[in-house]
Structure 1
């Protein structure tokens, strides 16, 4: 009897001590559970907003494994690449608009990784940003991304963990959302990139290299110093697989720039018409322009009609180093692939802002609820050399764009530095209203705007996708040195942290 009483007293004491410890702990305050540091009462985790259910939708399942691979770029050129499923680019994922997509990422590398779905409008928690929307996927672990493929168009996926390194090493692939009724029988994707094969990229990302590029007057001189090989779908020069088409045949060609350098592709005269830019259909009856300028991170779709010749070529304009690496033969059969390459003369250039969009976000210039001036500049960081800044700050100290759900947001981007900055907004599309103070007759809807030195763009977007979203330069070498900010919705918080045990590095 005494033993039972003693045992009961001990249990009561232990419970009491536990309650006292809990009441004094950081997990409890004033009778409520404590929130993470910097979070106020009443805020909602980004994990609990914008949920998407599969319902009765068709489910498409994929598996991507991040792994170390020796990749043959061309004869005599091999690189130690990081790949999804062993190839560069990774597996091309194709789904149909309306599908519910499930992608399981398995990490067999010895570093953390993620997948970001570039340009795809999806729930914040599926955006793949370590330290903001998830913890990076550790070696030996996995993570499954789930979302609805709501909008047809050309997208791509890539790691957003230390992306200046991981995308450079090959962690990317195409993500295509097809229309339910396809217009083109032939539909091909071409991912453009640059590689450092015979040199160490890290040796020239120092202050001296940056300063030399900055003083040259070339907006991407820094990037040009870093790479010595161009690729199309992971192959260079003669190793590029020809596109087989008959004379007069039409095809949809989807181009993605996964690199950090602008590429200008020359087509045979009269063969090309732009049909989409950043997954938005454009208004264009221009069949004369034959040079396509694609900024880093941009996607451009064209309708291509094969001229009445056995072999023609689509290739990088031949006025820069390594341009000969990026030439795509278009042949009637494989036997013509060895013909000597020659490109047409330039007859006009199509850029990301050349054509207005079919569907606009705003019918007329709206009155904004939030205005944000984004000054893009260069500076010096103690011990780090050259930095790239937004409003004189580097991430994570850059001032965020604070919004409430439903706000109309006006952002003025000004490039006050000497380098090009392709600025990409996650989770939203924006409408480009003006350049250098002059309004466009036909506004343009995009998710990336290429801002060259001295340029100013005014864009508008609607805060209609609750979460914490990156807005950053897609020259990831610039993002790694600070050119990143966040669209911060009121009332939500991220439960994740930068760095930490998971080594989260979103830039």
Structure 2
């Protein structure tokens, strides 16, 4: 249950109202972003991935093994690291044995060539069981990204088919530590030996179907060991198919330095709300030797501890907290004076509204609820239930021109809206103050109108969809073409 306090605090991220555990306003940071990182010489980084079912255990499984679907023989997600300018060559093998369980890889947030984007049917042939596929691209941006499959995503993500991609070279002043913080729920049955259904009618028609076990880096409330009195980078990645979180740090000063991989002007962290697929890079000044701080989720009736930050060793930093900014991104600035405005409305269909109403009344939901049409729509059109049936494009964009998308959420639920192939500037909202930043996924609040702008400089066919995967797979997905 979301408390009124949590909602108010989330909408006042920069307004200075209601600081979590801190009675006074944190100081602003004024150090400017350094220039974009230089591009190094091209070299090859190879990555071999085999999607397969493997009986594996994570610490959050309580000593039991589960039939995970993973890209490697480890239960933990693979982490690919490349430096800016390096080419990532990936060989994907589909080792899943369920008939028709095809896969592909979407490199989330990467502004790559369209034929590498990994959307089956739209830009590539799906990789059927026993087949393989090769991806090859040079990431144009530094930062924190991830990759996941883009077909039957609610189950494939739910079982573990994802990985992390880090493009290095954005820290002119090195931090004292650099740690990944991967947030994910698992829908585990009561016996702890199998999975519950990943998509439910009630969840799909409302806020999504939540996991039963919350994990950070595969563990429940783990300790993350860090140097003491240090400025450490935490790359927080929400890979969950459903859960929204509102990240905060208690017991230490913290700042946001990047959103969705791209540097922003550092600002003090009070809380930052993250939908599925969103990332945030934090700099935390750790406590002295022996001290602890807590990474928390405020999107609940009371704060939920996610992980404990444990500091040890000699002090690394002296003086006030003034985090070093990351190098500026390489995103083309939008020309707002000549921008072409397009309203994009996210809504429920008649069937979706009926399902939500039935669920709210406690009525049983059977499979016939989903039989006639999808639950969600973009500009009054739903993606067909048969995913290989490509509908007409939502829009045709002219390459090189600036577009201002006015995202309108007319539903009572939040929707993290993801744009493929581009990073956009978040401009303004009718409901809240937001810091200037780039993003590839933005969280739309109920009844919100939010403006984003970008230069349509990447030709091809690109998806736009809600990243609550049940919403995506029940209609809230469309595509546009840049030519």
TM-score band by shorter chain is 0.7 to 0.9
Question: 2: CA distance between counterparts of 1:387 and 1:478?
Answer: 8
Following superposition, the deviation at residue 143 of structure 1 comes to 1.2
The answer for the alignment partner of 2:174 in structure 1 is 183
* 1:363-417 CA-partner distances (Å, limit 9, x unpaired): 7633224x32111111245615761111121015475121121122121111101
Question: 2: CA distance between counterparts of 1:409 and 1:403?
Answer: 8
Asked whether the 8 Å contact 2:114–2:459 carries over to 1, the reply is yes
Instruction: For 1:221-260, list aligned pairs within 5 A.
Output: 222-223=208-209, 226-237=210-221, 240=222, 242-259=223-240, 260=242
The answer for the alignment partner of 1:80 in structure 2 is 67
Instruction: For 1:159-174, list aligned pairs within 5 A.
Output: 159-174=149-164
Given the superposition, is the C-alpha separation of residues 176 and 468 from structure 1 closer, same or farther in structure 2, using an over 3 Å criterion? same
Q: SS at the partner of 1:227?
A: coil
**Partner of residue 288 from structure 2, selected from 278, 288, 308:** 308
The answer for the alignment partner of 1:49 in structure 2 is none
Question: 2: CA distance between counterparts of 1:193 and 1:203?
Answer: 14
The answer for the alignment partner of 1:94 in structure 2 is 81
Asked whether the 8 Å contact 1:312–1:331 carries over to 2, the reply is yes
Unpaired runs of 5+ in structure 2? 1-38, 314-327, 352-369, 385-390
The answer for the alignment partner of 2:115 in structure 1 is 125
Question: 1: CA distance between counterparts of 2:408 and 2:53?
Answer: 40
The alignment status of 1:462 with 2:455, answered yes or no, reads: yes
Following superposition, the deviation at residue 88 of structure 1 comes to 4.0
Following superposition, the deviation at residue 361 of structure 1 comes to 4.0
Q: TM-score, normalised by structure 1?
A: 0.72
* 1:231-258 CA-partner distances (Å, limit 9, x unpaired): 1122334xx3x32223212211101101
Q: SS at the partner of 1:164?
A: helix
Given the superposition, is the C-alpha separation of residues 431 and 301 from structure 1 closer, same or farther in structure 2, using an over 3 Å criterion? same
Structure of higher CA gyration radius: 1
The answer for the alignment partner of 1:472 in structure 2 is 465
The alignment status of 1:276 with 2:258, answered yes or no, reads: yes
Asked whether the 8 Å contact 1:283–1:358 carries over to 2, the reply is no
The answer for the alignment partner of 1:391 in structure 2 is 379
Q: SS at the partner of 2:124?
A: coil
Asked whether the 8 Å contact 2:114–2:123 carries over to 1, the reply is yes
Question: 1: CA distance between counterparts of 2:168 and 2:154?
Answer: 29
The answer for the alignment partner of 2:339 in structure 1 is 368
Following superposition, the deviation at residue 201 of structure 1 comes to 4.5
Asked whether the 8 Å contact 1:230–1:325 carries over to 2, the reply is no
Question: 2: CA distance between counterparts of 1:280 and 1:188?
Answer: 17
The alignment status of 1:153 with 2:147, answered yes or no, reads: no
Q: SS at the partner of 2:115?
A: helix
- What is the RMSD computed on CA atoms of the aligned residues? 2.9
Asked whether the 8 Å contact 2:393–2:481 carries over to 1, the reply is no
Question: 1: CA distance between counterparts of 2:382 and 2:417?
Answer: 15
Given the superposition, is the C-alpha separation of residues 70 and 203 from structure 1 closer, same or farther in structure 2, using an over 3 Å criterion? closer
Given the superposition, is the C-alpha separation of residues 294 and 59 from structure 1 closer, same or farther in structure 2, using an over 3 Å criterion? same
The answer for the alignment partner of 1:447 in structure 2 is 440
Q: SS at the partner of 1:192?
A: strand
Asked whether the 8 Å contact 2:335–2:402 carries over to 1, the reply is no
Q: SS at the partner of 2:472?
A: helix
Following superposition, the deviation at residue 79 of structure 1 comes to 2.9
Unpaired runs of 5+ in structure 1? 1-53, 214-219, 334-356, 491-507
* 1:285-307 CA-partner distances (Å, limit 9, x unpaired): 42xx3434322111100112211
The answer for the alignment partner of 2:34 in structure 1 is none
Following superposition, the deviation at residue 462 of structure 1 comes to 1.1
Asked whether the 8 Å contact 1:432–1:460 carries over to 2, the reply is yes
Moved more, 105-114 or 314-323: 314-323
Q: TM-score, normalised by structure 2?
A: 0.75
The alignment status of 1:400 with 2:394, answered yes or no, reads: yes
Question: 2: CA distance between counterparts of 1:437 and 1:420?
Answer: 13
Given the superposition, is the C-alpha separation of residues 437 and 230 from structure 1 closer, same or farther in structure 2, using an over 3 Å criterion? closer
Q: What is the number of residues matched between the two proteins? A: 396
Asked whether the 8 Å contact 2:41–2:85 carries over to 1, the reply is no
Question: 2: CA distance between counterparts of 1:392 and 1:265?
Answer: 33
Question: 2: CA distance between counterparts of 1:56 and 1:392?
Answer: 47
Following superposition, the deviation at residue 271 of structure 1 comes to 2.4
